[in-house]
A and B are shown apart, each in its own frame.
Chain A
Amino acid sequence: MNTVAEKTVGLTAGPRRELPITWQLSAHARRLATLAIAGLLFAVITRRAEFAGLAAPALLLLIGYRADRPSAIGAELATGAELMTEGEQGAVLLRLTGLDAAQARVRLRPAPWITGGDAELGADGWYRLPFVPHRWGIRPVGTIDVTMWDRWRLTECRLTVGVPSVTCHPRLAVLDSLVVLSKLPARLGEHTSRHPGEGIEFDGVRDFVPGDRQRRINWPATTRRGTLQLNVFTAERAQNVVVLIDVSTDVGEPGRSSADLAVRAAAGTAMRYLAARDRVAVISFGRKLQWIASATGRRQADRIMNLIMTAGTAAGQPLGGLSALPHSALPPGALVIVFSPLLSLRLVEALRELRERGFAVIVVDVLVAQPSGGAGRNRAITQLARRIWRMEQEAIRFSLRELGIPVVAWDGQAPLDEPLAPYTRRPWLTTELVNR
């Protein structure tokens, strides 16, 4: 039974606001009133004075209803952080002022995928309501239920305060080692290339030529050979990486669905390559095609995260071939890392097209869900359909491998280094793939 006045107020973090409140009889007061009225009624009906005595304490307790109560309270809301990561703890802060003698209980009613903790009242008068988001996205935190009582607990009022949404970034998949192409563009970076240059990786020695820097003379080799020998180092280059996220199909248990895994893996990979000073572009293959031109640096990381947060929405260009994308989104000679459940034949065709255009493509399969086995009379047909579906999936992966596109599976738990290990040990020879 909820006959108490409940007022819903939408508050955004900011200055103190005055909220009018309406006090109503509490359940405790109604029970006391019942006891008092029933006692008096039975006293009159039965003409027994002891029933009037039974009503006496309840009647006296009810006189507290006359006490003054505030007609408005001040509410101030603040959020600890608007940007969060999955599994990270955040807090909503609420301060109520003007309560006078009234007491308040504050509770967070969390939205889906949010776990709320118990409210704690700090010495500064702020209620701290901890919460943990369990899934990436722009998530509403929920609402705060505020219940207030007077000091006699005879009246109460309820307020529901809406909390602003938080942006929850996906948990980054762990990737320590990088897939590096054997042929890198002429751009300064951190990857060792096969060409001699000004890096710090030793490549060999050669004869000294007038004009060479004397500090690079290799004196042991010079002594052995009798002529001046010079140390040669390899050049250090940056590579272009394109991270392609396929969120066109989202299958599996929420929280561990293919889109969840693709987004976490893509975010982790993009951040890792950006940390290595590489130029990273991101293409989101969802209901529409969204992309970010390749760039480096912190701002690019923010742009990528923003794109990932809106991946799968209706924003972007109509889905077509990836050939329509500009060079800035698909730089020639770039390494293309695809995170996909490979359920979209459109994407498979696009990958074929990319490979034919000479891109080095690697696919990380994020499909962990399996179709259910079925039950009852249709079980045999379901199992047959499942087998056919599996064979089709195997055929798709086989055809990609035949084209020179390696397909590795990631379960979402282990670091990405594990499936990518065969391609991270040494520079990846793209020409070798073309000749397969």
Chain B
Amino acid sequence: MRNARSLIAVCLLEAAIVAWAALPAAGARPGAKPTLIAAVCCAVFGLAKLAASSTAVRATADQDRGLPEGKLFLSAPERMWQQAASALIAVPWPQLLIVAVIGLEALHPPAPWHTAVLGLVLLGYLAALQTAESGARLAMFAVQLPLIAAGIGLAAISVAAAALPASSTGSGSGWLAVLAAVAAILAAALALPV
């Protein structure tokens, strides 16, 4: 039951991050559509992989009750299907989804608060995915709450820095904002006692 709830949560969060990154549809640069398709594919395959891994335990147990000796030879379509399935399972779909979603967001006009919301939903997605995979409770993230809070604070500072009007129209102000954000993150990472 808890497994099903985790699966549903992951599914909803995947849909949410893809939809949020794809919005607004207007004003996106060329290449947004293929990236959106890639993100949707990654989400679907990732979900299928997760569902398959959660049912694998039960399937193994059922097989074990049956005849120990299985089929010696598989037909060509069966063999191809097995190879395709194992190749699909081997691909790290969640990682690809993350890259695709951030890329999709980057192809849209700058909207710092929009990116910040995407970051929060992505964090939730990663937590839900970890919960669904390990079968653990969400409470296991309780020890990480201070770090998550610090990270969200830094994200807020970065978003605010990006939202502030640039001091000049040149590219230097953008670089400076990025470098400042990265420096703040690294400083926080080194300073936090873990």
State the A residues within 8 Å of B (CB).
1, 27-28, 30-32, 34-35, 38-40, 42-64, 66-67, 103, 105, 107, 109-116, 134, 149, 151-153, 254
Contacts of A50 in B (CB 8 A): 110, 112, 115-116, 158-159, 162-163
Check A48 against B178 for contact (C-beta < 8 Å).
yes
Query: From DSSP, what is the main secondary structure of chain A's interface residues?
Result: helix
Q: How far is A48 from B115 in the complex, measured between Cα atoms in Å?
A: 10
Establish whether residues A60 and B189, one from each chain, have CB atoms under 8 Å apart when the complex forms: yes
B84 to chain A, nearest CB (A): 15
- Chain A residue numbers with a CB within 8 Å of B94 are 27, 31
B34 at the interface (CB under 8 A from A): no
CB neighbours (8 Å) of B177 from chain A are 47-49
The stretch that binds A, out of B1-9, B71-79, B179-187, is B179-187
In this complex, how many residues of chain B approach chain A with their Cβ under 8 Å: the count is 66
Q: Which of A40, A57, A149 contacts B182 (CB 8 A)?
A: A40
A-B contacts, 23 listed (Cβ < 8 Å): A27-B92, A28-B133, A31-B98, A34-B99, A42-B106, A43-B178, A45-B106, A46-B106, A49-B181, A53-B119, A53-B162, A56-B158, A57-B123, A58-B151, A60-B148, A60-B188, A63-B147, A105-B135, A110-B64, A114-B64, A115-B61, A153-B130, A254-B67
Tell whether, in the assembled complex, residue B130 and residue A28 are in contact, meaning their CB atoms are under 8 Å apart.
yes
Interface of B is mostly: helix
Question: Could you tell me the distance in whole angstroms from the C-beta of B109 to the nearest C-beta in chain A?
Answer: 10
Which residues from chain A contact B162 at a C-beta distance below 8 Å?
Answer: 48-50, 53
**Chain B, 107-144, contact with A by CB distance < 8 Å: what is the 0/1 string?**
00010100110110011001001100111100010011
B99 touches A115 (CB 8 A): no
Task: Tell me if A44 and B130 are in contact (CB < 8 A).
Answer: no
Q: Are A60 and B154 in contact (CB under 8 A)?
A: yes
Given contacts A50-B110, A67-B194, A113-B64, contact A61 B130 (CB under 8 A): no
The distance from the CB of B108 to the nearest CB of chain A, in whole angstroms, is 10
Residues of B within 8 A of A (CB): 57, 60-61, 64-65, 67-68, 89-92, 94-95, 98-99, 102-103, 105-106, 110, 112, 115-116, 118-119, 122-123, 126, 129-130, 133-136, 140, 143-144, 147-148, 150-152, 154-159, 161-163, 171, 174-175, 177-178, 180-182, 184-186, 188-189, 192, 194
Residues on A with beta carbons closer than 8 Å to the beta carbon of B174: 47-49
Chain B residue contacts of A44, Cβ below 8 A: 178
Could you tell me if A53 and B148 are in contact, using CB atoms closer than 8 angstroms?
Answer: no
Among residues of B, the one whose C-beta sits closest to the C-beta of A46 is B106
* CB-nearest residue of chain B to A2: B90
